[in-house]
Every structure is written in C-alpha cells, then in structure tokens.
C-alpha cells in the first residue's frame, strides 16, 4: 500500500481545482497523475498518497473531496438546526404515466409504457390504464398540494396526450385543455408549476420509427418543446427537458428493464443530449426574452463512496462510477460539450480488449460541442441513495461534488427528486421510516447550503401520490399520499410523512427554537415500526360506534385537521373548547395542562397557516360534574362559566380574536345572563389589549307562511322567528328583554293553563341593561327553510313549542338530505338575512354554520352537496347586495361577515369529497366574494 506523508504547503482554490505548492525539500514522484486522493486536516496540511519523492514543483490536482466528514469525528452524522434561505422552493412531483391514467381517452396516443404494460411486462401484469386517475382528479391533487403547503409542483406532460402520434399534425385540444386546467389551478393556489417535457413515456408511434435511436427524433422533440413553450410558457417559468436521461438510456436501451427494451445506450444518450440542447436553444432564441423562464435538465445520480478511502484503486472506481452515471450527461452540458475523459478512455480501453467494439460511444463534432455546452439554466438533481442503501450524508457530498465539478456559483442546483418507497402491504399510512429518511436527507441538503456554500434552491420530494412505478407496478409506494388502487374512486389519504413534510415546509427547515417531534434512529436493516391495529368496520369495538369516545379522533389528529384546512384555503376555522378537557371538574381548581397544550397547538397551528381561529367556549358539552349540581338551571354556573371564560381569554387571547360564548343556546334565561357576564369580563379586562370581538351563535331556519295572503299564517311565520331567534337576539340586540309577541303568547297561555305565575322568566331592570348590547356581531347558524301555518294547539303539556301555535311542513318538491326535514332551499337564506337586517338594525352578520348532511356510507362524489353550497353561497352573495344598501358593508368585507361551511363529520368536507372542488366549479366572481375555498 502506498505510504502516506503529511506535507505543509501553500495552496489556493479555483473553481474546480486545488493548486498547491510543496517545499523544495520534499521528494515527489515525477508522474503526479498518480496523486488522486487527498483531504484537508488543517488549513495548511494535506495527506498525499505517493509512490516516491523528488524535489518539489507545482502540482495541480482536480478537487474531488471523497473524505469530507471522516476527518472530524462525528460531524457526518450531526443534525443541524437551521432554516433554509428565504425564497427556497419546496415541492413534490409526479410523472404523467405514473398518475394520469386515461390512457386512451380524448384521443390520447399510445405510449411505450402503455404498450409495455399491455404486453404483461409489469409486476402482476399491472398497467397504467387508470393509475391514480389524475386525468380526472386535477382538483383533488391540487387540494393535496395546498395541504402540503407546497410552493412548487413538478409534473410532466404526456407527449402522446397532446401529440398522439408524436408530431404536431396530430394535435389534441383535449390534452392541451387538461394541462391548461392543471397549470391554472396550480397558479390559482399560488403553486409554481415546474413542467417536464419528457418523463420516459415516448409516443409508441415514434418508437415504431426507431425512437431515440433515430436522429430525426431530435427535431421532432424540438418541435414538441416549441409547441409547449408557446402554449404554456406564459404561465410556466420552470422547464425540464428530460427527467433522468440515464434511466432512459440505461434501463430502456441498455438492460431492457424499461421499454422499449433495446440494448444501445450510447446512441440514445447522444440523441437525448442533442435534443435537450436544441430545445434549450429554441427557448433561448424565441421565448426567453418575453417569458423570462428557465430551462434545465434533471439528472439522477447516486453518490459513490470508495470502500477504502486510502485505496487509490477504490478512489478511482468511485470516480469512474460518478462519471459514468452523472458525468455522461452533466459533463457535455455543464463543462465542455463533450463526454468526460475518464468515460471515453475507459470505453476505449474496454473496446480494445474485445475482438469487436463492445460499447459504442458516439463523438460530438466541434459544432455540436458548442451547441451542447452551457445549455442549462439550473442543474436538476434526483438522488435516492449512495450505493449503501440509506445514506443521507451521501446527498451532501454529491451536492458539493456537483457544485465543484459542474455549477460553481453561477448555476443553481434544484433537488428535483428525493424519496424512498414503502412496500404495498401492512401499514402504509404510518410511514415513520420514510419520515426519518426525509428528515435526514433534507438536513444534509441544509448542511450543503449552510456549511459548504452550495447554491441549492429547491427540494422536491418524490412523490405527491403513490403511482405506477414502472416494472414494479403498484408494489412500490413513493407517495406522500396513499392511493387505494382497489377503489375505483382512487381515494387519496395523507401519510404521516405528508404531515411531517408539510411541517418542514411551514418552518422552512429545522429552526433551532423548535424541538419538534422525536424520531427514532433507523437503519436500512432495522425492523419495521410497530403497526397500529387496522380493523375492518365490522370489527371496530362497538363502543366507538355509539359514543363520542373516539369520534374523529381529532385530539390525536391535529396535523391531519390542519392539513385539510390549509388545503381548503379557508381563512378561518371555528371550533369549540371542551370545558371538561381544560377544567375536568368544571372549576378552575382542576386545570388539565395536557388539554390546554392541545388547544395551544391547534391555535398556533392555525395562526401559522394564516387561518383565523374562531373559538366557541361552550358547544353543548357541559362537564358532567356541573350537571350533577343542576346544570344550567343552577345560577352558580354563571360564575363558573365566567371563571372558565376568563381563563381562556387570558390563556389563548393573544392569538384568538374572535370569541363565541355559546353555540345555539337552549336554556335561555341563565345562559343569557352567563353570556352577558362573560361579555363584560372580556370588555373590562381584555378588549383593550387583545382587541378581539365576542358574540354568540344563534340558530334558526327561515319560514314561509303557507298562505302569504292569510294574516294568520304571516303572523305565525313571524312568531316562529321570534321564538327561535328573537328569544335570544331580542334581549341582546334590542332592549335586554324577550320579544313582546313571545311574552304575550306565553303569558296568555299561562293564564289559560291556570298557572299562578308567568312561565317565561322575567329580567329585572338592571339585568336588562346588563344584557342589552352584549354582542359585537350577529352570528347565525342556518340550514333550511320550512312552511308554517297558524294552528290552535293544546294547552298541555306546557311547552314553548305549543306556545307558538303553528304547524310546520316542507314542500315535497324541495331537494332532500340525509337529515329528516332538512331541505336545500337556498332562497330562504337570503330572506333570513334581510329579516335580521330589518329586525336588528343592520348588524354585521357572520354565517357561522351552513351545510347539509349526507348518508353515512354515501359516495365521496357528493355532487348534491356541491349544489347546496353553490346555491346557498349565491344567495348569501345576493343578500350582501341588499344588506349593503346603506354602504356600510362592502363585498370585500364578506369574510368579515363570513360563512362557515359544514364541519369535519358526515356534514363535513373530508379531503376526499367533491365538495372540495367547489372553487373550480364556481363562477369566478362568486368565488372571489366568498373566500370559502
């Protein structure tokens, strides 16, 4: 083994070389080409592998730092807590044939992957015929991207979808429309599209003409690229010509693992490089000045680490590996327009050892070298491993190698693909091992930026959703979201890694002040994490079916709920605090820290996503300990509720600016006094510093008189509204007392019932004054419309319902819902808003609940609910025009008189449901006004 000697010398670093000078007393072998390995141990010390020593002279050694990290004990595995630069782009990716499906729809031509699957060359004879059905689910996928908080989406155009035969004469408008819709949807969600022109799926018609072995394809590809630049370039500013051309050349035309299964990689790579260069020049010559975009290429590479860093043979082997995999394409494009010398000499040597040439490596003419050199505005890199399976530090070394070898300080590096698959089977949702992968690999990218000054500007995780993974079909799952390929709807479900990645994006890395979640250290051969029990519905413990013990499990699914809210693009989220979760006994001497922490995490998560928390203090769930002493019939609860509210204002009020005391109060007298007490506490102690608003949410349906010409029916309709809404609204928004019609009805019937006193409680003068005006805004929950008619009702049993003296019905022609008696009658909302305006003096109105139920096992394509939301929101918009007649409420303030849609229940908008696509289906002017999604 060669000796190792430490020399002290002076040196300087240029772009991709280290120039150092040894003292004259040193002995050095004249053939300095043998000196291939070195590392820095101090600013002026180098280890040199030599064969002999002679008098010193200037030596130039190409900078290939294979051992960075070994010299500082433990530095390689140190986790860095820091954030990425401002403007860093986070994203995720897909490939067209992996996810789109619709393989023959709307005139799409056959691709080589369609043919490959149909010839049963894929795992279990699977095909990409449907894949994830993204061709029909653009809105779903963009919704998932919003949930991730992705700033960038890398997707590819299916060449055969827009040019079915591969040439412009076969142009398909439907295919172009699909990509226009996707691009527009992304931009509407503030997501930058990064478009790949070729991600392996060559039109079969072009393959039949020779594919990438036929040089005519270079001009055909340039023409295809020209069309895409012209058609989409006004909105797309990041273009990738080819995704992983090494895979195309090696697996498609070398080993035959990929279609078309031909062994001629050298010619194919040569054509791809020239096609890339020609497309780049098309953009540079025709579109760059106007569109101001960037065009690059994504090259895939592992990192090769010499097994024995002190072995020159191993070091040479690692160098050859890198040049054959990465340099094959990077050296012509980023260095000198030609293949690396190592690659050329190695192939020449191998060919000389054979009777006939075993490998054909075409040559570039001088003109072609000039054409190819410098044809990339960024270096796109996809990286997954370091030939040692999961080796995160390999990414950092690879990035540094690329920076020193190819890009320097002038060309940014985009990490355009990084991830690890899980196997189909077992627990595909709790992918903790992949979370560890992302955590460590992303951190190595951070080290490359912060410690090595490498200009990395994007990180793109592979991939958005599980998809068709070439020869492996659906057996390898790369997605951040699981796709159920057994479900015709192709249901998407976020995995734990999606929540993790979203959190990294939100924090722009790993800030030191955030401790975050603890991740176990994992290696490739470690056993899989424990799997959570997954039971079919019929085997779930019955207790979960009939109680709220588990419900939606939001206490343990905070990340999932925040993810959905971000995906929905809501501006506010109304939720309630569980009084017994914070005060288990209902009193302030039993504070539950874990409960408080849960709500702090929820509130902080919302505000971090620019979602306003609207917090309800009491939504029906009274602590049982307080019910045991009489509940709301006991006036002591006024004091106890005020104590609970005071604690909440003090604990959460720095972030919460919208408070609701009660949701749909039922027992009136005590609750009204409790509400007023809490309002005054906030007004006295917190309003000046916290600057929030406080109200309560009331509920009613709109009612129409059955016979509008019959005064008795008209009066009956008014009575209904006064009993349902005025019971609470009249004391607060008018005079501190119940409506006159209600007092007269109940009083009159109390006399007829021979009662010694009035059944409706009476407020004192002081109480009226205390209650009046205790709401900053008018909050209303409403769902449907009813028809009422006057009816003489019986006197017993005593009932406020009978006191109204009316009967209710619905029109059989009105659309039904899963809730009995709840019909979708949108025009009733507008009439109710007008009634509130006239009755209570035009207060600011917040629609705090509106929605419609579906059957518990209904299909996720809830089109009837889309109709409900569209029509109700449209009526709210019409109502704004009426309510704003005095100019006090402009349409731009609609969110300030906002609409809260549904919930996370059967009335809710799960991420899988079509009602989430409402923003796409809606007329643009309505969408802008409502800000619902």
- The domains found in the chain, sorted by start residue, are 3-63 (no CATH), 89-305+367-507 (3.20.20.80), 555-699 (3.20.20.80)
If one compares 14 and 701, the residue with the highest pLDDT of the two is 701
Report how far residue 309's alpha carbon sits from residue 66's, in angstroms, rounded to the nearest whole number: 7
If one compares 424 and 246, the residue with the highest pLDDT of the two is 246
pLDDT score of 706: 96
If one compares 517 and 31, the residue with the highest pLDDT of the two is 517
Report how far residue 235's alpha carbon sits from residue 194's, in angstroms, rounded to the nearest whole number: 10
pLDDT band of residue 403 (cuts 50, 70, 90) is very high
pLDDT band of residue 857 (cuts 50, 70, 90) is low
pLDDT more than 70, % of the chain: 81
pLDDT above 80 (res 30): no
746-749 contact pairs (CB < 8 A, 24+)? 746/800, 746/803, 749/795, 749/802, 749/803
Q: What DSSP string describes 798-811?
A: --HHHHT-EEEE--
Determine how many CB atoms are found less than 10 A away from the CB of residue 215: 13
Average pLDDT over residues 697-723: 96
Q: Are 83 and 511 in contact (CB under 8 A)?
A: yes
> Of 172, 513, 239, 209, whose CA–CA distance to 376 is shortest?
239
Beta bridge partners, 849, equal 781
pLDDT above 70 (res 817): yes
pLDDT band of residue 265 (cuts 50, 70, 90) is confident
pLDDT score of 16: 41
Q: Are 739 and 756 in contact (CB under 8 A)?
A: no
pLDDT above 50 (res 515): no
pLDDT tens, position by position, 576-618: 999 999 999 999 999 999 999 999 999 999 999 999 999 999 9
Report how far residue 482's alpha carbon sits from residue 911's, in angstroms, rounded to the nearest whole number: 13
C-alpha distance from residue 464 to each of 140, 281, 301, 494 (Å): 11, 31, 21, 10
If one compares 512 and 232, the residue with the highest pLDDT of the two is 232
pLDDT above 50 (res 678): yes
> Of 167, 169, 282, whose CA–CA distance to 224 is shortest?
167
pLDDT score of 206: 98
If one compares 626 and 389, the residue with the highest pLDDT of the two is 626
**pTM for the whole structure:** 0.82
Report how far residue 653's alpha carbon sits from residue 755's, in angstroms, rounded to the nearest whole number: 47
pLDDT band of residue 263 (cuts 50, 70, 90) is confident
Q: Are 130 and 101 in contact (CB under 8 A)?
A: yes
pLDDT band of residue 53 (cuts 50, 70, 90) is very low
pLDDT score of 237: 98
pLDDT above 90 (res 13): no
CA 650 to chain centre: 33
pLDDT score of 908: 53
If one compares 64 and 668, the residue with the highest pLDDT of the two is 668
pLDDT tens, position by position, 82-121: 999 999 999 999 999 999 999 999 999 999 999 999 999 9
Rounded to 5 degrees, what are φ and ψ at 53?
A: -130, 135
Kindly report the CA angle at 520 between 519 and 522, in degrees rounded to 5?
A: 120
pLDDT above 70 (res 17): no
Please classify residue 144 by burial: count the beta carbons closer than 10 Å to its beta carbon, then call 0-12 exposed, 13-18 middle and 19+ buried. Answer: buried
Over the chain, what is the mean pLDDT? Answer: 85
pLDDT above 70 (res 415): yes
Left (φ > 0), alpha (ψ -120 to 50) or beta: where does 251 sit?
alpha
C-alpha distance from residue 511 to each of 505, 564, 605 (Å): 11, 24, 16
Please classify residue 675 by burial: count the beta carbons closer than 10 Å to its beta carbon, then call 0-12 exposed, 13-18 middle and 19+ buried. Answer: buried
Radius of gyration of the chain (CA): 35
Torsion of CA 767, 768, 770, 773, to 10 degrees: 160
Q: Are 478 and 466 in contact (CB under 8 A)?
A: yes
Please classify residue 130 by burial: count the beta carbons closer than 10 Å to its beta carbon, then call 0-12 exposed, 13-18 middle and 19+ buried. Answer: middle
Burial profile 409-421: b = 16 or more Cβ within 10 angstroms, e = fewer = eebbbbbbbbbbb
Rounded to 5 degrees, what are φ and ψ at 392?
A: -55, -40
Average pLDDT over residues 489-507: 96
Report how far residue 240's alpha carbon sits from residue 294's, in angstroms, rounded to the nearest whole number: 9
pLDDT score of 820: 79
pLDDT above 70 (res 916): no
Beta bridge partners, 786, equal 703
pLDDT above 90 (res 778): yes
Determine how many CB atoms are found less than 10 A away from the CB of residue 433: 20
C-alpha distance from residue 196 to each of 139, 240, 605, 715 (Å): 20, 4, 34, 67
Please classify residue 227 by burial: count the beta carbons closer than 10 Å to its beta carbon, then call 0-12 exposed, 13-18 middle and 19+ buried. Answer: middle
pLDDT tens, position by position, 722-766: 999 999 999 999 999 999 999 999 999 999 999 988 899 999 999
pLDDT above 70 (res 911): no
Residues designated catalytic: 849
Give the CB-side neighbour count of residue 91, counting CA atoms within 13 A: 26
pLDDT score of 76: 75
DSSP, res 472: G
pLDDT tens, position by position, 432-454: 999 999 999 999 999 999 999 99
Report how far residue 618's alpha carbon sits from residue 667's, in angstroms, rounded to the nearest whole number: 13
Report how far residue 20's alpha carbon sits from residue 22's, in angstroms, rounded to the nearest whole number: 7
Average pLDDT over residues 652-677: 95
Please classify residue 73 by burial: count the beta carbons closer than 10 Å to its beta carbon, then call 0-12 exposed, 13-18 middle and 19+ buried. Answer: exposed
pLDDT score of 871: 94
Q: State the first-to-last Cα distance of the chain, in angstroms, to the nearest integer.
A: 68
Q: Are 644 and 677 in contact (CB under 8 A)?
A: no
pLDDT above 80 (res 211): yes
Average pLDDT over residues 507-512: 95
pLDDT band of residue 20 (cuts 50, 70, 90) is very low
Strands (E), 209-289: 238-243
CA 781 to chain centre: 30
Report how far residue 205's alpha carbon sits from residue 906's, in angstroms, rounded to the nearest whole number: 48
pLDDT more than 90, % of the chain: 74
CA 225 to chain centre: 29
Average pLDDT over residues 248-261: 92
Q: Are 827 and 817 in contact (CB under 8 A)?
A: no
Average pLDDT over residues 46-68: 37
Report how far residue 333's alpha carbon sits from residue 376's, in angstroms, rounded to the nearest whole number: 7
pLDDT above 90 (res 493): yes
pLDDT above 80 (res 855): no
Rounded to 5 degrees, what are φ and ψ at 850?
A: -165, 135
pLDDT score of 883: 37
CA 756 to chain centre: 64
């Amino acid at each position: 083994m060669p000796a190792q000697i430490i020399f002290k010398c002076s040196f300087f670093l240029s772009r991709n070389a280290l120039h150092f000078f040894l003292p004259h007393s040193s002995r050095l072998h004249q053939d300095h080409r043998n000196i291939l390995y070195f590392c820095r141990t101090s600013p002026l010390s180098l280890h040199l592998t030599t064969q002999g020593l002679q008098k010193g002279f200037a030596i130039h050694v190409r900078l290939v730092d294979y051992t960075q990290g070994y010299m500082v004990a433990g530095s390689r595995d140190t986790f860095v807590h820091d954030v990425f630069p401002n403007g860093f782009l986070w994203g995720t990716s897909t490939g067209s044939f992996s996810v789109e499906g619709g393989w023959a729809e709307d005139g799409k031509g056959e691709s080589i992957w369609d043919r490959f699957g149909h010839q049963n060359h894929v795992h279990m004879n699977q095909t990409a015929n449907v894949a994830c059905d993204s061709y029909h689910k653009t809105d779903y996928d963009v919704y998932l991207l919003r949930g991730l908080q992705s700033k960038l989406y890398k997707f590819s155009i299916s060449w055969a979808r827009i040019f079915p035969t591969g040439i412009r004469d076969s142009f398909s408008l439907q295919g172009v429309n699909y990509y226009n819709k996707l691009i527009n949807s992304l931009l509407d969600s503030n997501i930058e599209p990064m478009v790949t022109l070729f991600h392996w799926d060559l039109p079969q018609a072009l393959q039949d003409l020779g594919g990438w072995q036929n040089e005519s394809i270079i001009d055909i590809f340039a023409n295809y690229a020209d069309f895409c630049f012209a058609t989409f370039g006004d909105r797309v500013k990041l273009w990738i010509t080819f995704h992983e051309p090494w895979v195309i050349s090696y697996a498609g035309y070398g080993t035959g693992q990929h279609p078309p299964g031909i062994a001629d990689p050298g010619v194919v790579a040569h054509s791809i490089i020239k096609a890339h260069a020609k497309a780049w020049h098309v953009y540079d010559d025709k579109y760059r000045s106007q569109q101001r975009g960037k065009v690059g290429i994504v090259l895939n590479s592992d990192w090769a680490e010499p097994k024995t860093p002190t072995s020159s043979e191993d070091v040479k082997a690692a160098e050859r590996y890198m040049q054959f995999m990465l340099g094959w394409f990077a050296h012509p494009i980023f260095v000198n327009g030609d293949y690396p010398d190592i690659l050329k000499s190695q192939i020449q040597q191998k060919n000389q050892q054979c009777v006939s040439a075993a490998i054909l490596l075409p040559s570039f003419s001088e003109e072609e070298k000039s054409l190819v050199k410098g044809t990339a505005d960024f270096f796109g890199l996809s990286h997954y491993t370091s030939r040692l399976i999961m080796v995160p530090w390999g990414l950092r070394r690879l990035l540094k190698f690329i920076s020193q070898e190819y890009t320097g300080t002038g060309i940014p590096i985009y990490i355009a693909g990084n991830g690890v698959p899980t196997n189909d089977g077992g627990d595909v949702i709790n992918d903790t091992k992949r979370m560890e992968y992302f955590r460590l690999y992303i951190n190595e990218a951070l080290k490359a930026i912060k410690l090595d000054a490498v200009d990395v500007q994007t990180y793109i995780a592979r991939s958005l959703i599980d998809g068709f993974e070439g020869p492996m079909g659906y057996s390898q799952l790369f997605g951040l979201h699981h796709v159920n390929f057994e479900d015709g709807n192709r249901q998407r479900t976020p995995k734990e890694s999606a929540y993790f990645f979203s959190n990294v994006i939100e924090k722009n890395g790993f800030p030191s002040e955030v401790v975050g979640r603890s991740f176990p250290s994992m290696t490739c051969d470690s056993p899989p994490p424990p799997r959570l029990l997954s039971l079919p519905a019929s085997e779930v413990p019955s207790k979960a079916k009939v109680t709220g013990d588990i419900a939606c499990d939001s206490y343990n699914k905070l990340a999932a709920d925040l993810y959905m809210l971000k995906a929905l693009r809501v501006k506010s989220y109304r939720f309630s605090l569980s009084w017994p979760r914070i005060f288990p006994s209902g009193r302030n001497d039993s504070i539950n820290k874990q409960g408080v922490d849960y709500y702090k995490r929820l509130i902080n998560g919302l505000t971090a996503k620019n979602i306003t928390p609207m917090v309800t203090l009491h939504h029906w769930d009274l602590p049982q300990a307080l019910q045991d002493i009489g509940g709301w019939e006991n006036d002591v609860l006024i004091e106890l509720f005020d104590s609970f509210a005071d604690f909440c204002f003090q604990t959460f009020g720095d972030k919460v600016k919208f408070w609701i005391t009660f949701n749909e109060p039922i027992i009136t007298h005590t609750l009204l006094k409790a509400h007023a007490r809490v309002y005054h506490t906030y007004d006295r102690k917190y309003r000046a510093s916290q600057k929030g608003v406080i109200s309560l949410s009331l509920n009613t349906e709109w009612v129409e008189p059955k016979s509008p010409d019959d005064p008795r029916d008209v009066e009956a309709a008014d009575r209904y509204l006064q009993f349902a809404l005025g019971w609470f609204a009249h004391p607060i928004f008018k005079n501190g007392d119940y409506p006159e019609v209600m007092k007269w009805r109940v009083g009159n019937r109390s006399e007829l019932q021979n009662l010694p006193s009035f059944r409706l409680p009476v407020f004192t003068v002081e109480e009226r004054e205390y209650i009046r005006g205790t709401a900053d805004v008018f909050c209303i929950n409403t769902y449907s419309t009813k028809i009422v008619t006057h009816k003489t009702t019986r006197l017993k049993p005593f009932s406020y319902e009978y006191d109204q003296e009316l009967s209710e019905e619905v029109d059989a022609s009105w659309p039904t819902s899963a809730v009995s008696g709840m019909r979708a009658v949108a025009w009733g909302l507008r009439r109710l808003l007008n009634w509130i305006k006239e009755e209570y003096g035009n207060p600011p109105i917040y629609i705090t609940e509106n929605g419609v139920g579906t059957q518990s096992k209904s299909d996720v394509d809830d089109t009837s609910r889309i109709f409900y939301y569209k029509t109700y929101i449209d009526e709210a918009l019409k109502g704004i025009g009426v309510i704003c007649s005095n100019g006090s409420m402009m349409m731009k303030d609609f969110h300030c008189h906002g609409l809260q849609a549904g919930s996370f229940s059967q009335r809710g908008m799960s991420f899988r449901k079509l009602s989430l696509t409402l923003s796409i289906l809606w007329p643009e002017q309505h969408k802008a006004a409502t800000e619902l999604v």
